[in-house]
Structure 1
Amino acid sequence: MNKIFAKQFNKRALAFGWGMVMAMIIFMSTAWFAFTTTNQKISAEITSLSILEDYYKEQDRLIAYSETSSKLALSQSFYQLAKDSAIDITNSCKVINNVMVWNNNCHPNADFVKQKFLEYYDTNFNSFMLEYPNKMDITYTNVLENTTLISRASPVTFSSEKQGTFAKYNFTYNFEPSIKINLTEQGISLEDFESIYNKILECNKKIECFQKINLENWDISTESQGSWFLFKLKTKKPFIFYENDIENYAPIELNFIIEL
């Protein structure tokens, strides 16, 4: 009887022992899997944060470069417009001593000034953006809303692929580097050109009146040359602009003639 009990007890003890071994194996396997999975998650999260940080830095660099390029393009476009005397120089306007003549047929018009300024800006801004160190395929649509220049950008996508120990990770980040610049804050007033012409019309070709014209954003000097009157204007604020590929930091000049 005792022998039978002992044999059964030994069988149970052996079964219990094997059960404990199997339980330990299952426990260790589960713990290893959990540890490995957790490590994978932590590794993936660290990788994601690192990649996102790079994306954010590149986004900040691009927007900063775009804003600087926009401001330079605004100054350059303002300079080019003033150099044309703010009129359509392809319209067979009269010229005296290489200076454009303002008259009923050729004078600043608000719609033309805005259109021409945007044309110059499109060219200048795109040219500056081509110099961005990391080449990107971005299309900008530029519009003027009152005194605000808005450059609406097509979406930019950053993407990369990382191979982990057990899986491949794909990362994608999208943003739109659109910018807004207030022209007034940059010292640019496109309304000035037509306003100056209207002030001149009010003088009714009286030299004394011409000499008393006062403008908020421009310094004026005048010269009487017999049958015509030369106006030489300079902005009170200096601008950065390029002339013959040489960078200048100086007032922008606006010259024109009024026939008496």
Structure 2
Amino acid sequence: MSAQQQPGPSAATAAGLAAAPGAAVAAVPGAAPGSTSTVDEVVRVDRVSRTFGRGERAVHAVRDVSFTAGRGELVAVRGRSGAGKTTLLNLVGGLDRPDSGRVRVAGHDLGAAGERELLRLRRGTVGFVFQTFGLIPILSAAENVGVPLRLAKVPAAEREERVAVLLELVGLGGHAAQRPYELSGGQQQRVALARALANEPDLLIADEPTGQLDSETGRSIMDLLRAVVHARGMTALVATHDPALIDLADRTLTLRDGHLVPAP
């Protein structure tokens, strides 16, 4: 086994996942843009647009985009560099606001939310995984995973238990004390995924989560992500341009010049 190849969750861990909250919720079939709301709907984007700059220098990053995503569904967002993938994920994750249109996540209207509510949403309702991992170098793997729990003021004993379960889930139960520089790229991304899951979010947003990994390690990360999403009844939006990883998604959204277009 290479340094970046890590074992997936054990059979016991997988069984634990199946018993996790939301596991019994049925997956939502691929919903077409503009489809009607369902009980299992987590994300609803209605005619959202976002432009940066003005006049001749204006960049129309997202143009009149609409779609829904439901529980237990992993949705890939594909498109060339500059197509608007990251901007769209930022809008859905509450990191940016649209110029027009509406974004709802787990029943919350992000456009009407104040900064404090958005902060609470980003800390609990939405989990983030980025291409560059975003781990704190001086903290161990366990401490990095525990950061969101500290911010949520989870008691120490419960925090330690949840961190241990999460590290076991991502196949790093024996690496809790190691710092990022002691871990491979694949291991660091697994820590980042565990951290994103710490507060049991309804929505997981991953922006090119395998962009810095070799193809085999990248696929193992996507396999793990898909298993977690399906078992826990979460929703995931994953930006990627890798065809092999797109094949693992339940549904694909294709962006071109900011527009949502039919898949090729």
Please state which band the TM-score falls in when normalised by the shorter chain: under 0.3
Higher strand share: 1
User: TM-score, length-normalised on structure 2?
Assistant: 0.23
More helix by share: 1
Larger Rg: 1
